[in-house]
Amino acid sequence: MTDQRVSRGSAGPGADVAEFGYTQAMRRGTRSFASFAVAFAFVSIATGIFTTYGAVLQSSGPAGIWTWPVAVVGQLMVALLFGSLAARIPVTGYSYQWVSRLANPVLGWIMGWISFTFLAIVVVAVDYTIASTVLPVLLNYTGTPGNAWWITAVVLAGQALLVAFSTRWTERVNNVAVTAELVGMLLLVVLLLVVGAIMRGLDFSNLVSTGSISHEGYFSFGSLLHVGPWMMGTLLGSFTIVGFESAANLAEETEQPARVVPRAMAQAVIASGVLGFAFLVAVTLLAGDPVALAQSATPIADVIARVLGPVVGTALLIMVVVAIFACGMVILMTGVRLVWAMSRDARFPGHALWSRISPRFGTPLAATGLVFVLGELLLAIFAFQTDALFALFSAATLLPSVIYAATVLLYIVKRRDLPPSKGFTLGRFEVPVIVLASIWLVFELLIFRDVVFLSSWVYVAIMVAIGAVYLGWLLARRGGTAGLAMPDMHSVDAELEADAAKAGAGV
């Protein structure tokens, strides 16, 4: 359904989806800050650090926080390459669209399916953080798998309602939440350091402490099935600094997407990296006994409450809850847009239903319901596992690593054949960015050889198997790969110039 309210003249370069074989189906209203807010909210340093800091204390000790800058630089290189692709093919569906059009539709479908499995699991991982690591301290109750389950289910339902019924209100809520997170996290860092200094509670030895982890072999790469302690700490940044590409998945709702989206992704990684590391340093300086803190299910919240007291600590923890809610909401919205994009091309199971845009709300209403129901099912599966949170965030770290690696490999192979950029280019920095991104992604993928990620690989294997069955059926039904051809990419400007030439020639 074409949205007649769209003003194509004001949408900016790269905004006309007709160039990619589509008609405008959703209203363009996402501007620069909203695009940045989407990318920043998905990354959500509050969510990632609250979720993984305790696990890093256990696997790597406090010194594990020094893996954060490595992850930030690596993910920034990936974001720059994604920005280069987004400036060339600014269409909803991001990696699914890029791989389908630049490689082939079968590989594109596989990439889309892997992206879908990532988004489905990560929204549950993020929402579970509220119930398992923040609310027990904020409301002073004992967290159990049972209450974590129903609280997460309610949070997921609230996010789905916003995404289903109003993109405008979803963005407004997210803009407010991101602003609060930026201001709140900065304030939190300052308060922790100032109060900690006044209390003489800053312990600089914690910054180089390995906690209960032996110094021997600390920086080793480990063995075939085990990862070294410091290398394992990289999960802190790997889990947190992901999702910046969500801005690209709203390309068809963004004004001037070829210019806005690449900048939004890079800015989100930089802002998250700098502010997140400052927060990690502040918390680690005030960790007290890191070995004892590692035993807590809510280490970050414990430090905040102990140092800042109940009043300030409570206010800042409320900010964290808002930030995590926004993070989950953006992830849900990103998953919905991917389902809609694949369904629009008749590539997703039940696509006839999921491709519909609600004439009343202007949103993919049915697709929202699908992602919500799947999230609740995954939550039920993981809810009563004793290591549920680790299993969730491990799977949610493995999948984007695979997506990023495959997309960067595509970029390397196809970079000389890419369509012209409409708003962002790496220029002479392209090769150094490719080299750094490749080194980082190989290093990151090597982490997942550790046996502790077995459940994550099992989840991936199950979802891939389901996808393989559907892909086989799709290929058989459509007579092979020719039946999965993407809508043609063509230059609208070239067509207009050709028409003008014909008219001038009197044709």
Where in the chain are the domains?
Answer: 22-504
Question: Please, is 301 exposed, middle or buried when counting C-beta atoms within 10 Å of its C-beta (0-12, 13-18, 19+)?
Answer: buried
Cα separation, 321 vs 135, in Å, equals 8
The arithmetic mean of pLDDT across residues 371-386, rounded, is: 83
Mean pLDDT of the chain: 86
Residue 24 has what pLDDT?
83
Q: What does the chain come to in residues?
A: 507
- Higher-confidence position of 492 and 301: 301
Strand partners, 254: 30
Cα separation, 326 vs 168, in Å, equals 14
Residue 167 has what pLDDT?
82
Q: Is 222 helix (H, G, I), strand (E, B) or coil?
A: coil
Q: Which residues lie closer than 8 Å to 271 by C-beta, 6 or more apart? A: 40, 182
In the chain, % of residues over pLDDT 90: 42
Residue 325 has what pLDDT?
92
User: For the ranges 113-117, 404-408, 497-501, which has the lowest average pLDDT?
Assistant: 497-501
Q: What is the pTM of this model?
A: 0.87
- Higher-confidence position of 4 and 68: 68
Q: Which residues lie closer than 8 Å to 197 by C-beta, 6 or more apart? A: none
Residue 368 has what pLDDT?
94
User: For the ranges 56-60, 83-87, 153-157, 473-477, which has the lowest average pLDDT?
Assistant: 473-477
In the chain, % of residues over pLDDT 70: 91
Task: Map tokens 């919240």 to a residue.
Answer: 301
Task: Specify whether domain 22-504 bears CATH 1.20.1740.10.
Answer: yes
pLDDT exceeds cutoff 50 at 495: no
Q: Is 254 helix (H, G, I), strand (E, B) or coil?
A: strand
pLDDT exceeds cutoff 50 at 89: yes
pLDDT tens readout for residues 243-272: 899 999 889 989 899 999 999 999 999 999
The arithmetic mean of pLDDT across residues 146-152, rounded, is: 88
Structure tokens at 404: 């990023």
The arithmetic mean of pLDDT across residues 122-137, rounded, is: 84
Residue 379 has what pLDDT?
85
Residue 2 has what pLDDT?
34
pLDDT tens readout for residues 435-472: 999 999 999 999 999 888 887 888 788 888 888 898 88
Cα separation, 382 vs 210, in Å, equals 31
pLDDT exceeds cutoff 70 at 156: yes
Q: How many CB atoms lie within 10 A of CB 146?
A: 10
Residue 266 has what pLDDT?
96
pLDDT exceeds cutoff 60 at 507: no
Residue 133 has what pLDDT?
76
- Please tell me what DSSP assigns to residue 13: T
CA-to-CA separations, 379 to 66, 156, 171, 376, 389, in angstroms, rounded:
32, 10, 25, 5, 11
502: confidence class by pLDDT, cuts 50, 70, 90: low
Residue 399 has what pLDDT?
85
Give the phi and the psi of residue 254 in degrees, each rounded to 5: -100, 140
Residue 385 has what pLDDT?
67
